[in-house]
Structure 1
Amino acid sequence: MKSRLIICHHCSERNCVRRHGKARSGLQRYFCSNCKRTFQINYIYQGHEGKILRQVESMYDEGKTRAEICRNLGVNPVVVDRYLYLISMESDAY
């Protein structure tokens, strides 16, 4: 039986990741000894997924409202507000 090699979500390192217990939800957690951060492969709540920022950004660029983004992605409005704030800070930096 082959075990799959887990890649860190934060630094993309392969060789420094080890198992790090289970979350309250029962899902496996992992720890990266390179960047000293923990992560999960799967999340129950979509607001913690790494791709959510890009999804919020693309939906916002399409002209969708905050409420529509929340409904489509199944996340809390506070999460959408936080990502919209990060997007605005990114655009102000340029």
Structure 2
Amino acid sequence: MDVKPCCHYCEDKTYVRKHGTARSGLMRYRCITCNRTFQVRYIYQGNEVDIRRLIKKLLAEGKSHSNIANQLGINLAVVYRYINGL
């Protein structure tokens, strides 16, 4: 039985298809509905789906930018990129 993943962007399950593999060897998927590709699991934490929510939560707690980067295991530039996008 093949369990299809849910799209990270539009949360649709019915129109998700396999889309090859990433350089890391992990399976990539393509959502036909929103025409975007994604992976179920990422090697680098900066690409995870809920990283923006975690950064926002830690900022609300008063953590510094470098502390957030260290705690989440991501680069400081990623933290700044998400902060500028908020």
TM-score, length of structure 1 as denominator length: 0.87
Paired amino acid for 1:24: R
Give the fraction of aligned pairs with identical amino acids, expressed as a percent: 45
Deviation at 1:5, TM superposition (A): 2.3
SS at match of 1:81: helix
Match of 1:49? 48
Distance 1:60 1:14 in 2: 32
Alignment RMSD (CA, Å): 0.8
Distance 2:85 2:60 in 1: 14
**Unpaired stretches in structure 2, ≥5 consecutive residues:** none
Q: Can you list the C-alpha shifts for 1:31-79, whole angstroms capped at 9, x where unaligned? A: 1111111000000001011100110011111111011001000111111
Match of 2:11? 12
The structure having more radius of gyration, on CA atoms, is: 1
SS at match of 1:59: helix
Deviating beyond 6 angstroms after TM superposition, the runs of 4 or more aligned structure 1 residues are none
Distance 2:53 2:32 in 1: 27
Distance 1:46 1:76 in 2: 9
Distance 2:22 2:39 in 1: 8
Deviation at 1:86, TM superposition (A): 2.0
Q: How many residues align?
A: 86
Distance 2:32 2:4 in 1: 15
SS at match of 2:19: strand
